[in-house]
Amino acid sequence: MKENYDIEMRLNVKIPMRDRVNLSADIYLPKGNGKFPTVLMRTPYSNNGDDTVEKARTLANHGYVCVAQDTRGRWDSDGYHYPFRDDGRDGFDTQEWIGKQEWSTGKIGMSGASYGGLVQWQSAPYRSRYLTCMVPRVICGDFFGGLIYPGGALQLNVALSWGMRTNGRTAQTIEYHNWTETFRTLPLTDMSLETGRDLDFWNDWIEHPTYDDYWKAIDIEGRWGEIAAPAFNMGGWFDLYAKDTFTNFNGLTEGGRNEAARQSKLIVGPWPHALSTSPKTGDIDFGDTSVVNLDGMEMRWFDYWLKGEQNGILDEPPLRLFIMGANLWRDENEWPLARTDWQKWHLHSNGNANSVRGNGYLAREDPGNEPADHFIYDPCFPVQTMGGANCCSPHIVPWGPYDQRSVEVRSDVLVYSSEPLDKDIEVTGPIKVVLYASTDGPDTDWTAKLVDVSASGYAMNLTDGILRARYRDSRTNPTLLSPNKIYRYEIDVGVTGNLFKKGHSIRIEISSSNFPRFDRNLNTGNATGKDAEMRQASQTVYHSSEYPSHIILPMVPEK
């Protein structure tokens, strides 16, 4: 088959949806006799962007028709833009239109990152007979827990800055705002007005702080059995959707509709939301081998599923993971890894784990009769976000690994560190903290962070999480706290793949804020987003034989 086709471009082709709204697509056709498989890219970020055009032309050169479409209400497409709502039906209708064209073989693959991955998952359960495979990058399937309200807390920075940038038909600048002040606006219902724009979807998100029918309508995590297209999932350890990338992979490989869907694949590197663009993420240079050709991997996937080329891609292990610290790639067969040794590491102190200067420590042995740790959480002075799995404006809130010592000197951050390790220890898998704690009010937040501390003292964040206390038992029916009562909390701290080297220490940070990545809990127990009253919270963290707070670490022995 010829591999360097000339290209015919058909621009601003109107594709009708079921409600008679026309969506605009630029179509790149290989010049040649016969029919071709199609790669569909749907985007709210303009189908005429340089990266999109370059990719579309590369695909056409390689013998694919590429259909690059503006999503509803964006750029040249008609209709009204409202995030997530119409993308399932619109994607299906577009696939049905493509499959009936004279140039189509009837096989469609989908490509795209972030929202370009969202549109793939949203359309897949509609099961167009033409949709054959997908390559979703950096996206979740559950938009309540994966994007807007992880752990029940509003993911403030992403929701507001991304929402402001994409509000309207074309790209909106967010560069000239005083974000330090904007993020502090109270109540949250006034925050979109502070940006100068009335974001209708922002108001709806605030109106729906629990997992209700609004979110269920766009959640695909309960619909794996309706998806028949295999997916090559791509993600990064420092992407906000790191955990969700594994969830999506497991969802299809374990519950996909057919054998094809269950042959999905995954790759995760040491990357932020912008995958594999540089060996350096945040402070850390992971080496040139950390940068790989994701487009080349994607092309092999398409060549197999859409052209039938026997290129061996399904003979390879389904997972490829970059192990930080060791800075190497490794193939695996399942997630979590079958050989994982799940270890409890307990929080200990003499009652003063406050800051890195305190006496908190982390160890395998069970706690005894130890005094609890205390701190005051004041939402007027929250702990500042210092890197992590953030998106999508690193000039506003940085993403990736950074030195956490500027955070760890605060008295409202409890720090628990292991002794320097006497050998290398690999931690690869999902991380969970079980915390026994109390507060003197009706609601608060609990945060946890896993940190790799080098012999020099550099404290590199790996992954973190948050839990809004009222959601400790249910994200559909939140319940407030009885003041000063001890509760058991399970904090999802995300996922990581990291080798703690000999001489390094494993560290856990516990606090009550991570701002402005997440909104501040005002500690009042009042309705989410509609409150401007703040109160300090007196926090107590227990680690005793009766209340053994601990972290569960997925230790991975050498093969």
The pLDDT value recorded for residue 1 is 47
Calculate Rg over the CA atoms of the chain.
24
Nearest Cα to 206, choosing from 503, 556, 528, 447? 528
Please identify which residue in the block is written with the tokens 């013998």. Answer: 63
- Is residue 395 flagged as an active site residue? no
The pLDDT value recorded for residue 179 is 86
Q: Of the residues 24, 104, 114, 512, which is catalytic?
A: 114
274 neighbors 240 (Cβ within 8 angstroms): no
At position 163, the amino acid (one-letter code) is G
Cα first-last separation, the chain: 41
Collect the ranges in the chain with pLDDT lower than 70.
1-2
- The phi, psi pair for 172, rounded to 5°, reads -110, 135
Helix (H) or strand (E) holding 98: helix 87-99
138 neighbors 245 (Cβ within 8 angstroms): yes
Q: What DSSP string runs through 278-294?
A: -SEETTEE--GGG---H
Is the pTM of the predicted complex or chain greater than 0.75? yes
Please identify which residue in the block is written with the tokens 């309207």. Answer: 168
Q: Of the residues 62, 81, 273, 550, which is catalytic?
A: 273
The pLDDT value recorded for residue 2 is 55
Within 13 Å of residue 136, how many CA atoms lie on the same side as its CB? 27
- Is residue 62 flagged as an active site residue? no
- Is residue 424 flagged as an active site residue? no
- As a whole number of angstroms, the distance between CA 538 and CA 46 comes to 49
| Three-state secondary structure call for residue 517 | coil
- As a whole number of angstroms, the distance between CA 175 and CA 177 comes to 6
Please identify which residue in the block is written with the tokens 């219902």. Answer: 189
> The tokens of 131 are what?
């949709």
At position 390, the amino acid (one-letter code) is N
| Torsion angle (degrees, nearest 10) of CA 385, 388, 389, 391 | 50
- As a whole number of angstroms, the distance between CA 505 and CA 373 comes to 21
Q: Of the residues 239, 303, 373, 412, which is catalytic?
A: 239
Write down all domains in the chain, each with its CATH number in brackets. 7-144+214-332 (3.40.50.1820), 155-208 (no CATH), 341-555 (2.60.120.260)
The pLDDT value recorded for residue 3 is 76
The one-character DSSP state at 147 is I
Q: Which residues does 291 contact at the CB level (< 8 Å), separation at least 6?
A: 276, 277, 278, 279
389 neighbors 514 (Cβ within 8 angstroms): no
- The phi, psi pair for 6, rounded to 5°, reads -70, 165
